[in-house]
Structure 1
Amino acid sequence: MSVEVLAAGPLTTVQDAGRRGLRHLGIGRSGALDHWALRVGNLLVGNREDAPALEITLHGPTLRFHAPARIALCGADTGARLDGARVPGWRPCDVPAGSTLRIGACRDGARALLALAGGIDVPAALGSASTDLRGGFGGLDGRALRRGDRLAVGRCDAVANGSAAVAPWWIDPQADADPRAAIRLLPGADAADGLCAARWRVAAASNRQGLRLEGAALAPDAQHARISQPVLPGTVQLPPDGRPIVLLADAQTHGGYPVVGHVATAELSRLARLRPGDALRFAWCSVDEARALACVQRQRLARIAMAIEARLRADRASRRVQAAPSVSRDRP
């Protein structure tokens, strides 16, 4: 089946869980910024957790479905509508052939993920379908979606060929932490005084490579000569202007700015949800605390996966019963 892009939105890209094990070659991870929304969305439509999906930034696309599909919108509320009917988030929805899905502006976050049963079918590049915008490869020709594009979707036998249907059950969108809580991070080699004491705001110049923060300028504790060193998503750098940059999924592999901290991996999805102008603050944590956060997040995802699978099994059984021919008790 295929999905036609009638309007693309400012930045809609194909993303999966990203590329692993290639940073020593200068190749970044890419992948969905909000890995929690990616994983839950894929589970809701019966995919593997890391299947390719559409990452939507600030405002979504308008899509026409040329075959029946099952979708799930996770992340920010976009006010999406399917042929005029509201499409709620964090639950599966069956889409009839010929339908038009309009995904609007992200209202309570910066990004949303649209998962489709079967996944977006694009060639893998270096082991991933993710779009690397800086490198210009992966996804759909290494770029964001454009009007007129057609996206192939993998085969999924579970998709119904009937009218639109939204599942009566849903997943709690409050993913893994209080959005008002401080972002936990580990101290870097050049930990700066005041990083955790200050309040910061996300600058408009932020992108998939990193969140630029606005606030009172900081200075690193150490003032030795700088050499380039490895960095990764979650690294907090301090450029000469004293305003931190938190690297995200499209981060470079090396950098020469002082490293003042590293955001705990379990907190990266929270960073992905921040919009320009949003406030945030940091709190130091230990390696053991960061590992505990990741463990709690994995456990919660496992519980959600089991609950979704039970619901999907029940839905499939109900569909089989409804589709079975009735047997008359009056036959001789």
Structure 2
Amino acid sequence: MIEIEQSAALNTVQDTGRYGWRDIGVSVSGAMDSLALRAGNILLNNPQQAAAIEIQMFPFRVRFLRDTAIAITGADCRALLDGKPLLPWSVRHVRQGETLELRFPRQGARGYLCVAGGIDVPEVLGSRSTALRGEFGGHEGRALKRGDILNTGDALALNLPEDGLSIVPPAQALAEFFPVTEQGELKLRVIPSGEFGLFTADSDRIWQQSWKISMQSNRTGYRLNGAPLRPSKTTELRSYGLIPGIIQVPPAGEPIIQLSDANTAGGYPKLACVIEQDLWRLGQLQPGQSVWLVESSAAEARRVQAATEQWLNTLKETMRLWGNSAN
């Protein structure tokens, strides 16, 4: 069990998402950085889809009401355990009464606190994720606040050194598969789709400028500021189903990338779709940071997915071998 001592709006319980209900207007939800969530759970021998706490408003502080183990992944949130610094992307035992504080990140936007056994909240439509707009799932369908008590599930025994273990973050371990510009800006790979042909006259604007993430951005979608895109003709579209990653272009011409809490239907022209394995990278960017759109393909998406899954499998095997060697 853990007690929330300090939190703010938008810090929520999330898992890998709620699938199969978009036809009745229920969005996927789930972690904005699903890779951080899955890796944190692997470090704890949890199922990869186990629920954790997604933190995007700081400072965030919890107290542990019993001995357990935790993993901290995602953004480098300058974690302190009873005032002592913890490494990012690390796993360790914690004792009853100890307090963990996560502070505004040095790098990244969202931190993940995974707990042995996972956060034990009721499943709603097959997921423990919080749907803030629908006010269901997670902990009472809302953001976490001071005084909340969260139960944790049954945990497997972990053999860890006293100071825990840390791993190389995937952005570094898989750097060859996740390109950035010389200035460190993310290259966001997209596959043209739908009404892309309406904007071919603006191809220099699509591919040859950086796009800044607007302050009008949240878990539903990121709006991109830049030279606006204009369709070659006015087209009336019927509403269609949306998924995370779809890039729509509203009349103002500034693209919107649908994300974890994406609307389930929309009617703006579809420019492209971000490959799934780049969505976690996007979820770690803050408003004011910039990205470049790079044309990609299904073959490239599969290549990156294979590398990512191999990294996760290697991490899982490493933790298994460490557990065996410590016995």
Relative to the length of structure 1, the TM-score reads 0.90
> CA offsets per residue over residues 5-41 of structure 1, 9 Å max, x none?
1101342100001011221222111000101100100
Counterpart for residue 223 of structure 1: 234
| Aligned pair partner of 1:244 in 230, 255, 261 | 255
Counterpart for residue 184 of structure 1: 189
Residue 60 of structure 1 contacts residue 78 of structure 1 at CA under 8 Å; is this kept in 2?
Answer: no
SS where residue 12 of structure 2 aligns? strand
User: Which amino acid is 1:186 matched to?
Assistant: I
Larger radius of gyration: 1
Q: What does 1:149-160 align with in structure 2 at a 5 Å threshold?
A: 149-158=148-157
The alpha-carbon deviation at position 291 of structure 1 amounts to 2.1
- For residues 232 and 273 of structure 2, the distance between their equivalents in structure 1, rounded to whole angstroms, comes to 16
Counterpart for residue 141 of structure 2: 142
Counterpart for residue 279 of structure 2: 268
User: Residues 79, 169 of structure 1: CA spacing in aligned structure 2 closer, same or farther, 3 A cutoff?
Assistant: closer
Structure 2 unaligned spans of 5+: none
User: Which amino acid is 1:178 matched to?
Assistant: P
User: Residues 302, 159 of structure 1: CA spacing in aligned structure 2 closer, same or farther, 3 A cutoff?
Assistant: closer
The alpha-carbon deviation at position 314 of structure 1 amounts to 2.6
User: Which amino acid is 1:289 matched to?
Assistant: E
Counterpart for residue 76 of structure 1: 75
Counterpart for residue 38 of structure 2: 39
Residue 19 of structure 1 contacts residue 29 of structure 1 at CA under 8 Å; is this kept in 2?
Answer: yes
Residue 186 of structure 2 contacts residue 290 of structure 2 at CA under 8 Å; is this kept in 1?
Answer: no
Which range moves more in the overlay, 148-157 or 134-143?
A: 148-157
> CA offsets per residue over residues 221-249 of structure 1, 9 Å max, x none?
45321221111100001111110110101
> CA offsets per residue over residues 72-115 of structure 1, 9 Å max, x none?
11011111111111111112111110111111112201111111
Counterpart for residue 97 of structure 1: 96
- For residues 38 and 271 of structure 1, the distance between their equivalents in structure 2, rounded to whole angstroms, comes to 15
- For residues 231 and 316 of structure 2, the distance between their equivalents in structure 1, rounded to whole angstroms, comes to 43
- For residues 39 and 152 of structure 2, the distance between their equivalents in structure 1, rounded to whole angstroms, comes to 18
- For residues 75 and 24 of structure 1, the distance between their equivalents in structure 2, rounded to whole angstroms, comes to 31
User: Residues 197, 222 of structure 1: CA spacing in aligned structure 2 closer, same or farther, 3 A cutoff?
Assistant: farther
> CA offsets per residue over residues 190-223 of structure 1, 9 Å max, x none?
2133222221111112100001111111113453
Residue 93 of structure 1 contacts residue 165 of structure 1 at CA under 8 Å; is this kept in 2?
Answer: yes
Residue 190 of structure 1 contacts residue 222 of structure 1 at CA under 8 Å; is this kept in 2?
Answer: no
> CA offsets per residue over residues 145-181 of structure 1, 9 Å max, x none?
0111001111225268x9x932244243426423444
- For residues 56 and 85 of structure 1, the distance between their equivalents in structure 2, rounded to whole angstroms, comes to 20
Does structure 1 residue 314 correspond to structure 2 residue 321?
A: no
SS where residue 171 of structure 2 aligns? coil
Counterpart for residue 325 of structure 1: none
SS where residue 166 of structure 1 aligns? coil
- For residues 222 and 306 of structure 1, the distance between their equivalents in structure 2, rounded to whole angstroms, comes to 54
- For residues 19 and 168 of structure 1, the distance between their equivalents in structure 2, rounded to whole angstroms, comes to 31
> CA offsets per residue over residues 100-137 of structure 1, 9 Å max, x none?
11111122011111110000000000000000111111
- For residues 56 and 221 of structure 1, the distance between their equivalents in structure 2, rounded to whole angstroms, comes to 42
Identity of aligned residues (%): 38
When the two chains are superposed, the root-mean-square deviation of aligned CA atoms in Å is 1.8
Residue 70 of structure 2 contacts residue 94 of structure 2 at CA under 8 Å; is this kept in 1?
Answer: yes
Q: What does 1:1-332 align with in structure 2 at a 5 Å threshold?
A: 2-158=1-157, 165-174=162-171, 176=174, 177-179=178-180, 180-191=185-196, 192=199, 193=202, 194-315=205-326, 317=327
Total equivalences in the alignment: 313
Residue 91 of structure 1 contacts residue 171 of structure 1 at CA under 8 Å; is this kept in 2?
Answer: no
Which range moves more in the overlay, 278-287 or 290-299?
A: 290-299
- For residues 248 and 309 of structure 2, the distance between their equivalents in structure 1, rounded to whole angstroms, comes to 28
SS where residue 112 of structure 1 aligns? strand
User: Which amino acid is 1:174 matched to?
Assistant: A
Residue 158 of structure 2 contacts residue 323 of structure 2 at CA under 8 Å; is this kept in 1?
Answer: no
Question: Following TM superposition, where does structure 1 have runs of at least 4 consecutive aligned residues deviating by more than 3 angstroms?
Answer: 178-181
